[in-house]
Amino acid sequence: MKGIVLAGGSGSRLYPVTGAVSKQLLPVYDKPMIYYPLSVLMFGGIRDILIISTPADLPQFERLLGDGSALGLRLTYAEQAQPNGLAEAFLIGADHVGDDSVALVLGDNIFHGPGFPAQLRRSIADLDGCVLFGYPVKDPGRYGVGEADDNGRLISIEEKPAVPRSNRAITGLYLYDNDVLRIARQITPSARGELEITDVNHVYLERGTATLIDLGRGFAWLDTGTHDSLLEAGQYVQVLEHRQGIRIACLEEIALDMGYIDPDSCYLLGEKLGSSRYGEYVMSVAKAAGAIG
């Protein structure tokens, strides 16, 4: 499976902060926002990842992440000149996906909860059509809302419904078989001029091959697209990291745990981060795994 992180857009809801920097490069407590969606793909065993952003912002992502080889990844980059909808990611990334299935994750979404990596890997291994992830919210009318039967088969999906059929918001993580490339080419722009991901999902819904997985209680899904939600996400990460002594979305640690890099390579990555607490954490993890240091 190939991965795509969609990190475009103007970030207008975060103005003036995003007047000079991409939203997905803003810090969520101790690391750039894009680390969080990247960690999701890495947990899924996905190592070949395309990052899509604006022409102005792409050089900053490349400066931060490089080609990914230091983490055992292959990162490539592509431009989305205008925010023409989420489904455009499959047009831009068609050559990247090739004949494979694909996972699309939005660059401003954070996923964290017990058992999530294992659940994600199972969903990828069993993929037949598309898999969406639902999260219970108190105000579902603000989101795309999915309804599933007792077997998890998606039976309805509505965009910002006045009378929601469920309280399951569709999150910014989507798994698709290779047919999504053909479907994306065939959909037409909506009234707001965008290629809507909901239209793609409707095709799978009509085929009966769309699954909705309920992330449920004890899980955190955070969308960091506003000033308040960005602050809340940072506070959430801060509290957990301070109390548990771990780092959420530490790419170096994930790469080590997944076997993408060895302990000595991990230690060197931490060492390059200087005297920051993040860098010290990476070195401590590497030492615990057997790095000479």
Query: What does the pLDDT profile of the chain (293 residues) look like in tens digits?
Result: 999 999 988 778 788 887 788 889 999 999 999 999 999 999 999 999 999 999 999 999 999 999 999 999 999 999 999 889 999 999 999 999 999 999 999 999 999 998 999 999 999 999 999 999 999 988 888 888 998 998 889 999 988 888 888 889 999 999 999 999 999 999 999 988 889 999 999 999 999 999 999 998 789 999 888 898 999 999 999 999 999 999 999 999 999 999 999 999 999 999 999 889 999 999 999 999 998 86
Instruction: Quote the pLDDT of residue 11.
Output: 74
Cβ–Cβ contacts within 10 Å for residue 92, how many?
19
pLDDT number for residue 187:
94
**Cα–Cα distance between 88 and 18 in angstroms, integer?**
22
Contact at 8 Å (CB) between 52 and 93?
Answer: yes
Q: What is the pLDDT of residue 255?
A: 98
Question: How many H helices and E strands in the chain?
Answer: 11, 13
Instruction: Please tell me the predicted confidence (pLDDT) of residue 60.
Output: 96
Question: Which one-letter amino acid corresponds to residue 54?
Answer: T
The per-residue pLDDT for range 236-276, each reduced to its tens digit, is: 999 999 999 999 999 999 999 999 999 999 999 999 998 89
For residues 32 and 39, the answer to whether their CB atoms sit within 8 Å is: no
DSSP 225: -
CA nearest neighbour of 137 among 236, 63, 220:
220
**Hey, what's the torsion of the CAs at 32, 33, 34, 37, to 10 degrees?**
140
CA–CA distance, 288 with 278 (Å, rounded to integer):
15
Question: Number of C-alpha atoms within 13 angstroms, CB side, residue 19?
Answer: 3
| Partners of 109 in the β-ladder | 223
Give the pLDDT score at 226: 87
Q: Tell me the two tokens of residue 191.
A: 């009234």
pLDDT reported for residue 289: 94
- Do 236 and 28 touch, CB atoms closer than 8 A? no
**Residue 42 is which amino acid?**
M
| CB of 106 closer than 8 Å to CB of 33 | no
CA-wise closest residue to 86 among 170, 198, 192: 198
What is residue 100's three-state secondary structure?
coil
